[in-house]
Amino acid sequence: MAEEMLRFRGGRPLRGEVTVQGAKNSALPLLAAALLCSGESILHNVPRLTDTWTACRILNRLGCRCRAAGNTVTVQGGDVGGCEIPDADMRKMRSSIMFLGPLIGLKHACILTMPGGCELGPRPIDMHLDAVRRLGAQITESGGKIHCQAARLRGAKIALSYPSVGVTENVLTVAALAEGETVLTNAAREPEIADLARFLNACGARISGAGEGTVVIEGVSQLHAAEYTVMPDRIAAMTWLCAGAAAGGELCLRGAAPGDMESCLSVLEAAGCRLGVCGDRIYLSHSGVLRCPRRLLTMPYPGFPTDAQAPVTAMLATGSGTCVVEETVFESRYKHVGGLMQMGADIRVSGRIAVVNGVRALHGADVTAPDLRGGAALGIAAAAAEGESLLRGLHHIDRGYEDFAGVFNSLGAEVRRCPILSAGGGKMPAEPQSC
Ligand code: UD1
């Protein structure tokens, strides 16, 4: 298929309702965890994303029958043939590392290579390997492959040196089937971890404290399949709120989880947006110029999420005043700044700090998504900017957003998806029904 781009005619206020998609960062570990459970697990509200199709393909290659129909994915788990994740799939997304825990838990073995994903600086897997080693796995490396093997899995006390999301999730899936009790301290507290624990508990696991700093896992001998609904995507929700704030207008998000978004909502309030919350709805209205808060620090949950940093930076670029942004989670997460500057933004980056001087108005430009959330940031800027923008590198955006252009259009923006080499309107890529 020819490569595509988005053509934005920006500068229109955004008005309307958006139903928030299911959380990518919950759906991917849940799909991997379904491998552990005997029988057919049914997952609802799974977002239709290229990362989802990669996870489904890995499951099918491992011998679990995985089928997608709309936003529901069924996985036949518990009887996995292989234990090797192909290098091509490992490279496609960072979340392929989420298969490490379930494969060790079920097969006591896993062969993998280094995962790919967005380039946000070095993303080692040392903590993942240390954690599974503590639970009884032996790890060797040969021919560029990492071999993990466990004669027996035994619960252990594990203290993480940093509250890594992925490591916490892998510990949950290995320890769920290990002998005895595992106590994990300095665990990540992201809401997606509690979502994974709720699914595993519905499958017969005994996990308590997930979503808090200490998680206790009582190993059980087997897990059964369950039906489960993926939680709402707080980063996608924040993306649409930032777009509404930057372009001005009135939005209502339905199916959101505002309780998981406090640090995000307080940044929007500090910027001068009017917000209202009622059950699973978030209302935002804004007109005039946004105020830049003086400082913004990304942190593990419940701090401000690193994944929302790029969308917020784009929003603040359209404001007034100066904000000092500090990225503490990843080393290199400002690749979207170059595109924003092409659109007239005034942002200076030095290491993990970005100083955003609001310029009040951006102009259209021809820009390329550098990564998933950086691409979303450029989309927000393009919707707010005066004139026409072209946004390339859509494969990054398709990894994390269901119908990115369609949501903008439903809010009154003018965005067309079109092939790069020919003029005229394009169409969305076909969605695989079964992977
Ligand atoms: C998850 C999210 C990602 C988000 C990130 C931080 C998913 C699928 N992805 O990624 O969107 O940006 O949390 O909220 O849920 N680290 C190590 N060694 C390791 C593991 C991690 O040094 O073995 C470092 C990382 O390089 C990074 C930090 O720990 O600097 C946090 O990473 P982590 O919380 O593990 O993020 P992911 O689980 O990869």
Atom of ligand 1 nearest to the CA of 331: 30
The model carries a pTM of 0.94
pLDDT at 424 over 80: no
| Residues 97, 49 share a domain | yes
- Ligand 1 atom, smallest distance to 121 CA: 26
**Domain assignment of residue 221, yes or no:** yes
Residue 332, number of CB atoms within 10 A of its CB:
15
In a domain, 431, yes or no: no
Same domain, 192 and 327: no
**pLDDT over 90, % of the chain:** 87
Q: Is the CB of 25 under 6 A from ligand 1?
A: yes
Query: What is the Cα gyration radius of the chain?
Result: 21
Output the pLDDT for position 352. 95
Same domain for 309 and 321? yes
Q: Are 26 and 238 in contact (CB under 8 A)?
A: no
pLDDT at position 423 over 60: no
Domain membership of residue 336 (yes or no) is yes
Is residue 149 within 8 Å of 138, Cβ to Cβ?
A: yes
User: What is the reported pLDDT for 92?
Assistant: 81
- For residue 329, which atom of ligand 1 is closest to its CA? 30
Domain end, chosen from 199, 229, 259, is at: 229
d(CA 414, CA 423): 16
Q: Are residues 291 and 218 both part of a single domain?
A: no
CB 429 within 8 A of CB 1: yes
The answer to whether position 67 is within a domain reads yes
**Degrees (nearest 5) of the Cα angle 289, 293, 296?**
135
Pair 176, 258 in one domain? no
318 and 214 belong to one structural domain: no
Taking the centre of ligand 1 as the mean of its atom positions, its distance from the CA of residue 242, in whole angstroms, is 23
Q: Is 96 in the pocket of ligand 1 (CB under 6 A)?
A: no
Give the whole-angstrom CA distance, residue 212 versus residue 197.
Answer: 12
The CB of 28 under 6 Å from ligand 1? The reply is yes
How many domains does the structure of the chain reveal?
Answer: 2
Sheet strand arrangement including 138-142: 109-112, 145-149, 138-142
54 shares a domain with 67: yes
Is residue 434 a part of any domain in this protein? Answer: no
Is residue 124 reached through a cis peptide bond, with omega within 30 degrees of 0 on the bond before it? Answer: no
Residue 75 phi/psi, 5-degree rounding, is -130, 125
- CATH number reported for the structural domain that contains residue 88 in this entry: 3.65.10.10
Q: How confident is the model at residue 433 (pLDDT cuts 50, 70, 90)?
A: very low
What is the CA(424)–ligand 1 centre distance, in A? Answer: 40
36, 178: one domain = yes
Residue 433 covered by a domain: no
Query: Ligand 1: which residue has its CA nearest to atom 35?
Result: 164
Q: What angle, 0 to 180 degrees and rounded to 10, lies between the N-to-C axes of helices 50-62 and 24-34?
A: 10
430 domain-assigned: no
Contacts of 413 (CB under 8 A, 6+ apart): 8, 10, 12, 14, 247, 383
For ligand 1, mutation pick of 54, 114, 123 (most atoms within 8 Å of CB): 123
Atom of ligand 1 nearest to the CA of 117: 39
Q: Does residue 427 lie in a domain region?
A: no
Task: For ligand 1, atom 11, name the residue with the nearest CA.
Answer: 307
d(CA 426, CA 417): 5
Catalytic residue ranges: 118
Q: Are residues 212 and 244 in the same domain?
A: no
Q: How far is the CA of 229 from the centre of ligand 1 (A)?
A: 24
Q: Which band of pLDDT confidence, cut at 50, 70 and 90, is reported for residue 422?
A: low
Which bin fits 68, alpha (ψ -120 to 50), beta or left (φ > 0)? beta
Average pLDDT over residues 85-90: 88
Instruction: Provide the residue range defining the domain that includes 62.
Output: 24-229
Does the C-beta of 123 come closer than 6 Å to ligand 1?
Answer: yes
CB 236 near ligand 1, within 6 Å: no
Least confident of 109-113, 211-215, 308-312: 109-113
126 in the same domain as 29: yes
Q: Distance (Å, rounded) from C-alpha 166 to C-alpha 275? A: 32
- Do both 210 and 276 map to the same domain? no
Q: Tell me the C-alpha distance between 103 and 128, whole Å.
A: 13
**Ligand 1 pocket check for 162: Cβ under 6 Å:** yes
Domain boundary among 229, 251, 273: 229
Q: Same domain for 311 and 197?
A: no
Q: What is the pLDDT of residue 298?
A: 98
